[in-house]
Structure 1
């Protein structure tokens, strides 16, 4: 949880002012800023999407802690170098390199999921997410304040040092009881993928993850421009950071509660209703005329997000083939990274043509599509997975609590 806090706090320091940093690097045309911001933000996730299965396979082979250390020390170096960018192209190349060696958060999720009893999976991952989200609260606020006081480049240096501290915390204080399982047959990445998605509803959950990231992350790189439109002032970076932090505060507040609720009622139950409410709350953001109205809706959206990712990760843990858990998370993270790449890039182009407000409407439609996928492609398979926490039989007794006679 401490490492999640440091890493997410460091990474989210950058997001509120990325379009503003591009202005400092010489990009002045409003449409060019929207497109460059989307491409540069998404570039990190293009290479992360390509390399995530490799890191997942190595995690199953050498342990999850080793992947945490690889990612932590690597990102600390690359993000520090990002502060020396001289133009949009050099910034783009450094973001691509950062995506190659990233993967700290997925490795932490895999390590936690393998170290936790299944009946407490939702609560465990909810607590882990709460630690990360606490970082997302502090990160944008601190990033916005430091950007206004010290300039944008200093944020990258602070981010690099912060992630370096998190890597040392893992090195000295995180222990993993890893037992390597020898594979009798060496498999290729596509063979692993086919075996994993042969277990229903894993592929559907991958698509849910992809759409969630497209819908929610596609707006983030351009949020500072929307805040600038609603509340023109000299402290745009701070107000943009506050709009992201308020989501994180709501997320952190409800994640442990929704995690416990998913352990009792079922992860699919929390996932379905969190998606439904997120879809409903996203739509009116397209029509707000006040910064403070936007802040309220972002807070409500943060409450919904608090139930999404822990529920998806818990379901993936339960449906993943035995001995392939990290690889399942690796492919899941590929879909997540793909969504995080496609969302901002598509969002940048759409915003340059139809305006930023149109992104909120598209986000709402995508989340409603996810509701249908969960209802018709995920929930029907829950009846066949008898060891799922929250599956009720005979007066509310959980299947997992019944002892054989």
Structure 2
């Protein structure tokens, strides 16, 4: 088996577990905070919002820092640091003595993150051009699937086995990720720089500045879109089922349907992008995702919503790998970790912004308008991508083809 394929398997498992670890706390957080001694409903809501959001905000700050460290010291050390650190910190959440300790541990979880940045950089730099789309497409399914399945897994374990066991399970899985990284990840890393460049030097070394910013914004918008429904999907399913039993389970299935579709479709769309062009797949996926959100506002039952969420997952599967593949193509190898760190930061900010936006729009305008707002964001981003990415890449590809035919 080629080294890049073996590394891909290990990184996929680690990013999947990391995605679960980042998101599994969502459905049990208010209950766990109440169990820690907070009785006032208003205080529970405030602490829940703070404990959930602080991880993603801090992760957005530290992702570029760990990306720089990956470029300087190697990607495997960053994988080991993040997996072992998260195993310890998440496991400690199960024995938190009070809500302040829990919030502090969630903040520390955001500080030590960086597993996804190191994995993406490792695979991007070790995979040959012919397989880059497939490899990054496969890798992108891990974090998204883990993040989308995490709330369902967290709710089921918390309900049936106790909330502390959520944290112990994820900690144990992260220890397995640490062990498999030690044993199976191979990296031939050569440090090429002695001086760490500042932001000005990094930015000046990036030739495609406008394209890079467009890709960051696209990754941010995608993360907003995928998480805008999370705060309100249970309320929406309850409206559609008219208070039927097992609303939480049905909502979890509807939310996780897009994660399943993403896992199935991303590797295949990665192969398509390798053949026809990454920019074409990205634009088509943005348009498809934007339009699929609209009918979700008009469904009459939960299973129609689940089907449309599945279609959304297929469309979204063409976005993450496309963004990562284009970043790989336009970024110097010596800066790959730092640029992917900024990309991951944009994604973490998108998760937080999407959750906040979904709750606020639903609260002021109604749940249906969450779908309309998200659709408008994706379609506006598609227009921007058409002018900033698609046309530019098409012209470049046309020039290459013309030279080859001479």
Whether TM exceeds 0.5 here: the answer is yes
Distance 1:135 1:343, change over 3 A: closer
TM-score, normalised on structure 2?
A: 0.86
Query: CA shift at 1:362, angstroms?
Result: 1.5
The whole-number CA distance in structure 1 between the counterparts of 2:42 and 2:367 is: 12
Match of 1:120 in 2: 131
How many residues align? The count is 393
**Candidates 249, 271, 276, aligned match of 2:282:** 271
Q: Is the 8 A contact 1:75 1:101 kept in 2?
A: yes
Distance 1:131 1:99, change over 3 A: closer
CA contact (8 A) 1:122 1:263 kept: yes
Aligned mates of 1:233, 1:93 — CA distance in 2: 38
1:218 aligns with 2:225: no
Q: Tell me the distance in 1 between the aligned counterparts of 2:23 and 2:163.
A: 13
Check whether the contact 1:210–1:338 (CA below 8 A) recurs between aligned residues. yes
Which of 189, 194, 211 matches 1:201?
211
In the alignment, is residue 175 of structure 1 matched against residue 186 of structure 2? yes
CA distance in 1, matches of 2:239, 2:99: 23
Query: Map of 1:121-136 to 2, 5 A cutoff?
Result: 121-132=132-143, 135=146
Residues 121 and 263, structure 1, Cα contact 8 Å, conserved in 2: yes
Which residue does 2:401 correspond to in 1?
Answer: 393
SS in 2 for 1:323: helix
Q: CA deviation at 1:111?
A: 0.6
8 Å CA contact retained: 2:33, 2:44: no
Q: What does residue 3 of structure 2 align with?
A: none
**Structure 1 unaligned spans of 5+:** none
Note the aligned Cα RMSD (angstroms): 3.0
| 3-state secondary structure, aligned to 2:191 | coil
CA contact (8 A) 1:38 1:348 kept: no
CA distance in 2, matches of 1:337, 1:197: 25
Q: After superposition, where does 1:17-166 map in structure 2 within 5 Å?
A: 17-18=28-29, 21=32, 26=38, 29=41, 33=45, 37-85=48-96, 89-132=100-143, 135=146, 139-166=150-177
Equivalent in the alignment of 2:202: 192
C-alpha spacing 1:53/1:6, structure 2 compared with 1 (3 Å): closer
Cα offset for 1:305? 1.4
**Secondary structure of 2:334's aligned partner:** coil
Deviations 1:296-354 (A, max 9, x none): 11111111111110010000000113421111111111222222222223333333433
**Aligned ranges for residues 338-353 of structure 1 at < 5 Å?**
338-353=349-364
Deviations 1:71-121 (A, max 9, x none): 111111221222344665544333222111112122111111111012221
